[in-house]
């Protein structure tokens, strides 16, 4: 819920949309946060009261033409006190800048027509932001577009050995050139370094592109699939036995062909056999998934995406005083990372490490 209101601070006139939404007493008690000191000009200020949250952006325009050589105004949005208002901050700033431009061009605010001209605009912004989340203002010579964007957390950096998987359709829009070139190679099995090689795009650009897609929730990152990998189950496995929707989704996802779906019991049995110490290779020999109409790579992918299973990574640690090896085998980087960085196959590296008694493998 947003309410817009504007204060003109020269004669402490307050314009409210809707009318009289905030009582005068309340306004007086918080006026110090709306009519601010000079140091706080052009900062977004949010004050949380018992029932309301008021988000404002005080602005001052210095000009000789005004009575006290300056014109102050502050456009505020009023929300419920428990609402998140971070996403409105940029909107308030932009809207204030728009009003400032209008004021400088045509004395829009100070001209005394505020009630007749400004009120419809505030009303429009309030209604359209609440219903559509965006608003286009075309009043006067300049136009501006306001849009409320959800603020999400920054995605963590993308590593060479991670595999991007589409978790929803790529939205139909004009993507940038890198994304257009990279997306055909995102098939759920190629890792980032490989995608870079296949698409002939520089590695860091691919990472930036994938990170961007992760931010928009189009792509998720899963660990690289290899038959030597070890997975273990998480407490969420129980959901697979209970949740019918999840079962349906799972069976369609892991099926070898869509004509004949595998049975839930087989799928569940393979998942529950994933324990530390059992590689995918062992499981394939034990269960022979193609016979059960299961695609084992899809099975693992679904499990990781739904967090039914989790990859058990191996972290080699060197215990002797090899200063050159201590950096790479310190226990903070997994075998995958080391393989990807050095270009050695996992099998080869594991054999090498096994022969060295000073190296300890931690599985976690």
Partner 1 sequence: MEVNPLSVILVKSDSKGDRLLFRYPFQIQENSEPSNTRRKNPYTLPIVEDLLQSPPQPSSNMNKGNLTGFTDEVLSSLFAVKFELCNRKFELKVNDVRFVSHPTLLQLRTKQDDSGIMLINIVFALQALASHSVVKCYHDLSKRMGIVLKHEEKRCGYVSDQTQLMTSVHDDFYSNNPGAAFQIILEKCTLATNIKKMYDDLCNTGLVNIRVNRWIPLSFCLPQKVHQWHLRGKIVEPEDIDRMTENENNYRQLEEAQLSKMNDIINLSNEKKEEEDFKIITYRKKSRKPVKKCYGENEDSEFAIDRKVWLYLCLKALRPYHSLLLLHPIQHMNDFTSLDGSPSLVRMLSQYSPLKNLYTLAADADLTLSHVFELAAHLVYWAKATVIFPVCSTNKYVISPNAPIHLTSPLLDKFCDTFPGANLIRVISEFSLPTSLGQKCNPLCHPSQQSQLVQTIIWMLQHHLLLQLHTYVQYMPTDNGLLYSKM
DSSP label at residue 175: -
* Contact positions vs partner 1 (CB under 8 A): 25-26, 28-30, 32-33, 37, 39-40, 42-50, 82, 84, 86, 90, 93-94, 97, 100-101, 142, 153, 232-238, 241-242, 244, 247, 263-266, 268-269, 271-273, 275-277, 307, 310, 315, 317-319, 326, 330-332, 360-364
Minimal distance, residue 218 CB to partner 1, in Å: 21
Minimal distance, residue 96 CB to partner 1, in Å: 11
Q: What is the DSSP string of 193-214?
A: HHHHHHHT--HHHHHHHHHHHH
Contacts of 241 (CB under 8 A, 6+ apart): 268
Minimal distance, residue 243 CB to partner 1, in Å: 10
Q: Would you call 108 exposed, middle or buried from its count of C-beta atoms within 10 A (0-12, 13-18, 19+)?
A: buried
CA distance 130 to 49: 21
CA distance 312 to 341: 19
CA distance 147 to 132: 9
232 three-class SS: strand
Minimal distance, residue 111 CB to partner 1, in Å: 19
Find out whether 40 and 18 touch, Cβ atoms under 8 Å: no
Q: Residue 43 or residue 347: which is nearer to partner 1 going by CB?
A: 43
Q: Residue 237 or residue 255: which is nearer to partner 1 going by CB?
A: 237
Locate 332 and state its tokens: 């903070």
CA distance 262 to 251: 6
Q: Residue 124 or residue 247: which is nearer to partner 1 going by CB?
A: 247
CA distance 83 to 108: 32
Q: Residue 205 or residue 317: which is nearer to partner 1 going by CB?
A: 317
Q: Residue 59 or residue 193: which is nearer to partner 1 going by CB?
A: 59
Find out whether 222 and 265 touch, Cβ atoms under 8 Å: no
CA distance 196 to 202: 6
Minimal distance, residue 201 CB to partner 1, in Å: 28
Minimal distance, residue 272 CB to partner 1, in Å: 3
Q: Residue 201 or residue 292: which is nearer to partner 1 going by CB?
A: 292
3-class SS shares of the chain: helix, strand, coil, % to 5: 45, 20, 35
Q: Residue 117 or residue 236: which is nearer to partner 1 going by CB?
A: 236
CA distance 231 to 22: 58
Minimal distance, residue 339 CB to partner 1, in Å: 18
CA distance 362 to 364: 6
Minimal distance, residue 203 CB to partner 1, in Å: 25
Q: Residue 64 or residue 152: which is nearer to partner 1 going by CB?
A: 152
């Amino acid at each position: 819920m947003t309410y817009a209101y504007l204060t003109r601070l020269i004669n402490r006139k307050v314009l409210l949309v809707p009318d009289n939404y905030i009582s005068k007493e309340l306004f007086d008690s918080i006026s110090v946060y709306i009519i601010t000191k000079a140091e706080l000009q052009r900062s977004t200020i949010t004050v949380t009261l018992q029932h309301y949250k008021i988000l404002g952006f005080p602005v001052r325009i210095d000009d000789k033409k005004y009575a006290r050589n300056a014109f102050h105004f502050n456009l505020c949005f009023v929300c419920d006190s428990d609402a998140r208002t971070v996403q409105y901050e940029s909107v308030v700033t932009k809207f204030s800048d728009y009003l400032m431009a209008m004021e400088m061009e045509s004395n829009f605010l100070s001209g005394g027509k505020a009630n007749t001209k400004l009120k419809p605009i505030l009303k429009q912004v309030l209604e359209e932001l609440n219903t559509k989340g965006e608003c286009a203002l075309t009043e006067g010579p300049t136009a501006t577009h306001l849009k409320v964007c959800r603020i999400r957390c920054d995605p963590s950096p993308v590593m060479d050995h991670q595999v991007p998987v589409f978790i929803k359709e790529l939205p139909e829009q004009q993507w940038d050139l890198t994304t257009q070139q990279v997306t055909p190679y995102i098939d759920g099995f190629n890792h980032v370094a490989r995608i870079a090689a296949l698409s002939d795009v520089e590695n860091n650009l691919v990472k930036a592109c994938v990170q961007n897609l992760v931010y928009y929730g189009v792509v998720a990152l899963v660990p690289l699939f290899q038959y030597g990998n070890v997975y273990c189950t998480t407490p969420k496995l129980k959901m697979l036995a209970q949740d019918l929707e999840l079962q349906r989704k799972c069976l369609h996802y892991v099926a070898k062909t869509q004509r004949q779906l595998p049975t839930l019991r087989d799928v569940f049995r393979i998942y529950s056999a994933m324990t530390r110490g059992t590689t995918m290779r062992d499981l394939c020999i034990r269960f022979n998934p193609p016979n059960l109409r299961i695609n084992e790579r899809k099975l693992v992918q679904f499990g990781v995406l739904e967090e039914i299973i989790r990859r058990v990574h191996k972290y080699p640690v060197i215990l002797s005083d090899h200063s050159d090896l201590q950096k790479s085998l310190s226990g903070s980087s997994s075998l995958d990372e080391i393989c990807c960085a050095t270009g050695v196959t996992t099998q080869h590296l594991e054999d090498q490490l096994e022969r060295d008694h000073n190296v300890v493998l931690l599985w976690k």
